Amino acid sequence: MFDIHGLTKTYTRSKQHVHALRDISLRITAGSFVAVTGPSGSGKTTLLLTLGGLIQPSAGNVTYGDQNLYTLPASQLATFRNRTIGFVLQTFNLVPYLTAVENVMLPMLPRETNGMDTLRHALDLLEKLGLADRATFLPRELSVGQQQRVAIARALANDPEVILADEPTGNLDPSLANEILDVLDDLNRSYSKTVVMVTHSPQAAARAREVLKLRDGMLVS
């Protein structure tokens, strides 16, 4: 699935070079559940967003299947993200003035699909995540755990092959965190979604079947 070779990302801030990633090479196979761990500033989120086609590397290649992501034109890279990657972020990023079902429908709008089909699909996703009775609620009317489940439903809207999750349990208490981890585990086991999850939590990392550890932008285990 993902073949990563010599991946390097360097930022320049106030004439100083910050090495977020340093010559990382690894393979993430289809259907795996991978946790990426390490201290703050170790490059975890940069790696995740580079896999998702959101951060241009300074050097190296990210290949998905037979596509080198960063040789694609911007429009094709955007299409790849929309159709192949589902993002689940710690901050949820729900649109506050849209209902739960409208938030889930958002990623499907660029496609030429029937409006009623889009609505039905969004409602089906909310039902699968236990939110059928919250479809018309605004984000502020939902609990934190419910907001995260709406964000997961939105990430699944275009039936992506890969879920990239950045600290998906970071804002949740242990009980809610386990609920979200159960959802990710089920997506991986029952629906064969590849899950790559950045986490500080040893408990969350223990739910993955492979753990990568970064330190100072380098892969150490």
pLDDT at 114: 64
* CA-based end-to-end distance of the chain: 20
Query: Crossing angle, helix 115-128 and helix 144-155, to 10 degrees?
Result: 130
Residue 91's pLDDT band, with cuts at 50, 70 and 90, is: confident
Tell me the C-alpha distance between 198 and 36, whole Å: 5
Does residue 112 carry a pLDDT above 80?
no
Output the pLDDT for position 116. Answer: 82
Q: How far is CA 176 from the centre of its chain?
A: 18
Reply yes or no on whether the pLDDT at 208 is more than 70. yes
What CATH number labels 2-93+160-219?
Answer: 3.40.50.300
Per domain, the residue ranges of the chain are 2-93+160-219
Given a cut of 70, is residue 138 above it in pLDDT? yes
pLDDT at residue 115 greater than cutoff 90: no
Give Dmax (Cα) for the chain. 53
What's the pLDDT band for 171 if we cut at 50, 70, 90? confident
**Structure confidence by residue, pLDDT tens digits, 3-49:** 999 999 998 877 788 899 999 999 999 999 999 999 988 999 999 99
The band of 117, judged by pLDDT with boundaries at 50, 70 and 90, is: confident
